[in-house]
Amino acid sequence: MLSKAQVEELARTGQWFHQNGCTRRIGPRGGIRESVVQVRPSGKCQLWKTRPEDYRMPFKYGMYQSGEVTPRYAADFHTVADCPLTLQPEGNVK
């Protein structure tokens, strides 16, 4: 889940982030397929003085698709560092 501070930082720096649903599947012959939807900010983070908890940041993914991150949909996104595919369980650390 992205917080308001994270959204402002991503918009300011232009860093990529992920839409939830990052999965890793192992095929019948042992092949690994990762499914990650990476999106990038496409504009400034819009803030309001009258509603300090509200924000809106547009993003783009693919060739023609776009959307926006708002407090209502912030739970659908996460940063690259918080991706469940990059986080390893403690038992597998070497």
The average pLDDT across 70-86 equals 93
The average pLDDT across 2-9 equals 94
Among 12-16, 47-51, 71-75, 85-89, the minimum mean pLDDT is found in 85-89
pLDDT at position 90 is: 52
Q: Tell me phi and psi for residue 7, to 5 degrees.
A: -65, -45
What confidence tier does 41 reach under pLDDT thresholds 50, 70, 90? very high
Q: Is residue 10 part of a domain?
A: yes
pLDDT at position 94 is: 46
Q: Is residue 92 part of a domain?
A: no
Mean pLDDT for the chain overall: 90
pTM higher than the cut 0.85: no
pLDDT at position 17 is: 96
Q: Is residue 94 part of a domain?
A: no
Range of the domain at 75: 4-86
Which DSSP string corresponds to 56-80? Answer: EEEEEETTTEEEEE-TTTGGGEEES
Q: Is residue 54 part of a domain?
A: yes
Q: How many domains does the chain have?
A: 1
Q: Is residue 45 part of a domain?
A: yes
